Amino acid sequence: MLNQVPLVRKVKNAYYGWWVLASTFLLGTLSGGIFSNSSAIFFGPIKNDLGLNSTQTSLIFSLVRAEGSIAGPIVGRLVDRFGSRPMIIFGGLLASSGFIALHWVHNYVLFTVIFVGVVGVGKSSGLGQVLISSVNRWFIRRRSLAMSICITGFSSGGAAILPLITIGVSTIGWRDVMLYSGIFMGLIVIPLASMVRHSPERMGIGADLPFPKDGESGSRPAAPIDFTVRQALRTKSYWILFAGSVLRISLWGTISVHAVQMFEWKGMSPEMAGIMFSLMFLMSIPLRLIVGVLGDKFPLQPMMGGGMAAAALAVVVMLVLDGNIAVYLFVALMALEQGTSALNWVSLGNFFGRTSFATLMGLISVVFNIGMLITPIYAGLVFDRTESYTIVFVSFLPIYLAAGVFFLMTRKPNAPVQSRTEVYGR
């Protein structure tokens, strides 16, 4: 079996999981920059080009979340059963073709159908939770670091690609930017996806198991405990983590869509607002890596709760301060929130193992995608009627605080009475 392993795994005897991580990092960078985090950059130009108001424009991006709530459990089940690589290829090519097609669309309804039914379906099928699930399959002992690096890819896309998109939109227009981005993504997705394998067991190599604890007999690594979906759903730990994750990510749905418009509301130019939005992702990168290292050694709850405290303070800043200083502080504080966001999924993997991770994550995504559908539309309605985001920020403050409380309450569940450790490849 080992002789069949690709040559790339034999280079310096590197654990193949690092190659999987490198591939998912790059895919996350491209997906985050082109598809996920570009909404705030495209929001204003699409709104003006198609003659829409803020509510109508918010609906385009929000309906993608509704589609994701339907696709989440289905995709999760498919990944747990068949692996990530076919889903990444299918989703990446579909999302790319949708971006290319939008170059020629001028009708609001048709634009929405393609954006939701082609771009959205492609992104949720292969370029979101699938990447995180791939890393969770390959890493146990260094899960926090590996998953933080993977999710840092999405932030890296925001930091590295969003400035290019901002410049492109202001020079050649949003339509050409979508066309060229779709072509590039379509060309690169298959080579990167080819490096992603289902699991170490299917390649005939050992998993990244934790070392024995002090005082334990023997020198063999400790075997991980994997919950079934049904066993996980019966624990209080899953539902507490579920609640905190849904609250946090639902609010991020509004920030990711309206951030540039919010900065303009505070008096910034569109170009500067776009740069500040990308700076938020850039600033979160070192913190994600630091948190990833710390998460393998220390409890995750204080870091997750601290991230929510930073987000709550960011909301207060936007309520009490005006001008560029409000935006600068908001960006810095939200970078702290984003820096700890990977710990949601690290906790899920630590609590419930590998075999049902994608399905459990997909179930959470059902609800948070509904939240990400509702909150941007709500923010658009409020802004259309008041020309202000004040009410939006006031309503977000207690929700961030509640999410922080849930994260502080999370605890690892007791092992199920009849636990199982799945043997991959059967």
Residue 401: both structure tokens together? 């605080």
Q: What is the pTM of this model?
A: 0.71
Query: Among 176-190, 236-250, 284-298, 392-406, which stretch is predicted with the lowest mean pLDDT?
Result: 284-298
Is the pLDDT score of 424 beyond 50?
A: no
Query: Among 4-8, 283-287, 301-305, 328-332, which stretch is predicted with the lowest mean pLDDT?
Result: 4-8
Is the pLDDT score of 206 beyond 70?
A: no
| H helices present in 340-389, as ranges | 343-352, 357-386
pLDDT at 209: 59
pLDDT at 1: 39
Q: What is the spatial distance between Cα 291 and Cα 310, in angstroms, rounded to a whole number?
A: 15
How many other C-beta atoms can be found within 10 angstroms of the C-beta atom of residue 239?
Answer: 13
How many other C-beta atoms can be found within 10 angstroms of the C-beta atom of residue 12?
Answer: 5
- Give ∠ CA 258-263-269 in degrees, rounded to 5: 120
pLDDT at 57: 87
C-alpha distance from residue 410 to each of 132, 243, 244 (Å): 21, 10, 9
Of residues 127, 146, 112, the one with CA closest to residue 28: 127
Confidence of residue 423 (pLDDT cuts 50, 70, 90): very low
How many other C-beta atoms can be found within 10 angstroms of the C-beta atom of residue 246?
Answer: 22
pLDDT at 13: 63
Question: How high does pLDDT run on average in the chain?
Answer: 83
Q: Are 258 and 421 in contact (CB under 8 A)?
A: no
Of residues 397, 23, 69, 37, the one with CA closest to residue 196: 23
CATH of 10-199+224-409, one of 3.20.20.70, 3.10.50.40, 1.20.1250.20, 3.90.79.10: 1.20.1250.20
Q: Are 69 and 363 in contact (CB under 8 A)?
A: no
Contacts of 296 (CB under 8 A, 6+ apart): 141, 142, 143, 144, 145
Q: Are 233 and 355 in contact (CB under 8 A)?
A: no
The C-alpha torsion from 167 through 173 and 178 to 184, rounded to 10°, is -60
Is the pLDDT score of 211 beyond 80?
A: no
Q: What is the spatial distance between Cα 146 and Cα 390, in angstroms, rounded to a whole number?
A: 38
Kindly provide the residue ranges of all beta strands, DSSP E only, lying in 137-222, ordered along the sequence: none
C-alpha distance from residue 253 to each of 45, 58, 244, 347 (Å): 19, 10, 15, 21
Residue 212: both structure tokens together? 């024995």
Higher per-residue pLDDT: 256 or 422 = 256
Segment 378-418, tens digit of pLDDT: 998 999 899 999 999 999 999 999 999 999 999 888 887 65
Q: What is the spatial distance between Cα 292 and Cα 145, in angstroms, rounded to a whole number?
A: 4
Positive or negative, the CA dihedral 410, 415, 418, 419 is: positive
Confidence of residue 224 (pLDDT cuts 50, 70, 90): low
Residues above pLDDT 70, as percent of the chain: 88
